[in-house]
Amino acid sequence: MISIIGSGRVGATTAALFMVSELDSNINLVDIVEGLPQGEALDLNHTAAILGKDVKIRGSNNYEDIKGSDIVVITAGLPRKPGMTREELAVKNADIVSQTAEKVKTYAPNAIVIITTNPLDVMVTVLYNKLKFPRNRVIGFSGVLDSRRMAYYASQYIGVSPAAITPLVLGQHGENMYPVPELSFVYGKSLKTYLTEEQYTKVVKDTISAGADITNLRKFSSNWGPASGLTVMVNAIVNDRKTALEASVLLEGEYGVNGVFAEVPVILGKNGIEKVVEVNLSPEQKEKFVKSIDAIKNNLKQVPESYLK
C-alpha cells in the first residue's frame, strides 16, 4: 500500500500518476482539510474506471489510515508563492513536517518515506530526526527534478532527446544548487563539450531558476514535474529496479561530508537507498559542492533546535 500525505496540487497529481502507472492497487490520500482528500479520491476513482485501471484510491482525514503502508510520500506543507525562495519556508514547514513524522512513526514504522516539502534538504533533515528510521528509508525528493530539468534545457541547444543525457546536479535543492554539465554526459561525451560558454551559463542559470520561473508564470509552484519524479522513484522501489537517479540523502562520509542531507546520485531499489554513488570531483568542483553544502547548513540554522533532535 502507498500513502500520500498532502492532497494539494503535488499530492493529487502524484496520486493520479501512481494510479495511471498502477504502482499499487491501493493508494491512500490523507490531508487535514476535510473533504479535500475524499473529493480528490472520488474523482481519481472515476478516472481509474474510465482508463480501466484496477486501482482503488481512498481519501481520509485520519492518519491512522496509513497503517501498514510500504511507502509514504509526504507532500504536505506550505507551497512557494511568487517572489519567495524555498529557503523562506523553513520555519513554517518544519512544524508541519515534525507533526507528520510522528504520525508516520506511529502508524507506518516500516515504511520507506519520501518527502517533497520545501526547503527540501532542511525538511528531510527534520523528518529524519523525528522518525529515527535508518537513512536508506528516509529520502528527500529533488534530484530527479533538478537533474532532468538540466537535461531538458541542455537538449534544447544540442538537438538530442533529454533522455539521451545523463545529468548531474549536486548539493542543495535551492538557489545554491550545483548543476555540473561537465560531469553530465551524452554517450560518454561531456555535456559541456556540446555547449558554447554562453549556452553553458544559460543552462546552469535556467536549471537553478526553473522552479521560480514556473511559480512566477502561473502563480503557484510546480506539481507535474515533482509528481513525475516521485513516480519514477516509487517505481524503482516497488519493482526493485536498482535505478540510478538523484535524491537528497544523509551523507555519512561520502564526498567528505557528514551529517548533512544533500542531493547526490544514488541507486534506488526495494530497500530504498541501496547505495550512494560518489562522483570524482576536481578541486574546483569540490569547492562549489562545499559551497552548496554550506548553504544547506546555513538554512538549517533558521529552524529551531527542537526540530533537529
d(CA 249, CA 276): 8
> Catalytic one among 36, 171, 173, 273?
173
Distances from the Cα of 248 to the Cαs of 2, 45, 99, 145, 265, in angstroms? 20, 32, 21, 11, 9
What DSSP letter does each residue of 49-99 carry, written as one string?
HHHT---EEEEES-GGGGTT-SEEEE--SPPP-TT--GGGGHHHHHHHHHH
The CB density around residue 286, as the number of other CB atoms within 10 Å, is 13
Q: How many residues does this entry show for the chain?
A: 309
Name residues whose C-beta falls within 8 Å of residue 45's C-beta, 6 or more positions apart in sequence.
Answer: 56, 57
* Whether 173 is catalytic: yes
Residue positions annotated with a catalytic role:
173
